[in-house]
Structure 1
Amino acid sequence: MCHVLIIEDEPLVAMAIQDILALQGATSFEIVDTEEAAVSAVAANEPSVITSDVKLLQGTGPHAVAKIHQRLGPIPVIFITGTPEECEPCNPPGSIVPKPFTEQAVVAAFHKVAPLA
């Protein structure tokens, strides 16, 4: 089982990421569009992997990820963003996939971090 938290404020982008990762073996998803929603989401269902944009409707993906890591410990993260230079704090474990992204780039990053057998 691989639950993915997708932190993305563009619904079509979030759905595209979900579709790509579902084909790669991810089994469940939660999509959120703000820093606060991301932090709240992990209380109900701890993710195996996080994908995150940098800029959100409210707050930032990197700050949400930092708060989640502080609460739950390190969870693999893939930052998928049009502003990789603004990814602060952008700490491991994880990688950065620039937008516009290709399916192959997302798949490669996911296989690098996904806890799949």
Structure 2
Amino acid sequence: MAFRQILAERLPFLRRYARALTGSQHSGDAYVRELLEAALQDEDLREELVRGRVQLYRAFTRIWSNAHVELAYGGDVAAPEAGANSRLGRIPPEHRQALLLTTLEDFSEAEAAEVLDLQPEEVTALVIRAVEEIEAESACSVLIIEDEPLIAMQLEELVTDLGHTVAATATTRTSATEAFARLRPNLVLADIQLADASSGIDAVEDILAMASVPVIFITAYPERLLTGERPEPTYLVTKPFQEETVRATISQALFFGTTAPL
């Protein structure tokens, strides 16, 4: 399979990881672009990128780690959103990487260890510490936009178990925007296909017109959002989901506390 075809299949998910790692679509895409530019100049790197997902993420980690060092010393490499900058210094980047690789990207601990050049037991310890550090942030209220009752109940229980409050559960665009306007929750979990054939994407656009709030899309149709044709969500979880993935993504969204408009 050709280099470009393989990358076309894997890049949307690498970009999702990069955005979650930095808390910004702009910053995440800048790091991915730097990797691609390096690959165009280096045939050995191109061969590495197409060998598998582990090799792709391992190469990205090298790019990001080097740029992150420059950022730590005041460089102008694409930075995470300003609002998250001070919090980044309190949570080591290795902890976030381990958490995202094993939850959002569904790598095994052994694969994540290979990506990060660590031992599997070190990855386990980093994940535990990352969850503890991120969940030390204040509890919040959450609006769930989901029309499937069983999934809505699962999300409600998960949010509550994390110490947050479910402000409301909405099944349509209209009920979602009305609930947000009335309750002003701190976080939104949204499906994109709703009960009355309305769109969760439209509901989120309505919400973001009212206030800047972190949004996590939880959908069986990620391709509708990962098109590269419009600003994309920083936080995206694919159905069927693992509860640990949603938990990690909620922690990340609250940690960064911002979302790019759609």
TM-score higher than 0.5: yes
CA contact (8 A) 2:141 2:165 kept: yes
Q: What residue in structure 1 maps to residue 71 of structure 2?
A: none
Checking the alignment, whether the CA contact within 8 Å between 2:144 and 2:169 is kept in structure 1 is yes
**8 Å CA contact 1:35, 1:63 repeated in 2:** yes
Task: Give unpaired runs (5+ residues) of structure 2.
Answer: 1-138, 256-262
Match of 1:86 in 2: 224
TM-align CA RMSD: 1.7
Contact 1:4 1:48 in 2 (8 A): yes
Indicate which of 103, 108, 111 corresponds to 2:243.
103
2:209 matched to which residue of 1?
70
Identity %: 36
| Greater than 2 Å deviation, 4+ residue runs | 87-92
Q: Secondary structure at the match of 1:114?
A: helix
Partner of residue 7, structure 1: 145
Aligned to 1:42: 180
8 Å CA contact 1:20, 1:107 repeated in 2 = yes
Per-residue deviation at 1:90?
6.3
What is the CA–CA distance in structure 2 between the aligned matches of 1:87 and 1:38, rounded to whole Å? 19
> Which secondary structure state, in structure 2, belongs to the residue aligned with residue 31 of structure 1?
strand
Q: Give the whole-Å Cα distance in 2 for the aligned partners of 1:53 and 1:100.
A: 12
The Cα shift of 1:111 comes to 0.3
Aligned: 1:52 with 2:172: no
Structure of greater Rg? 2
Higher strand share: 1
Q: Supply the AA of the counterpart residue of 1:64.
A: A
Q: How far is the alpha carbon of 1:29 from its aligned partner?
A: 2.8
Map Cα deviations across residues 29-54 of structure 1 (whole Å, 9 max, x no partner). Answer: 31010011111111210010000001
As a proportion of its length, which structure holds more helix?
Answer: 2
Change (3 A) 1:78 1:90: farther
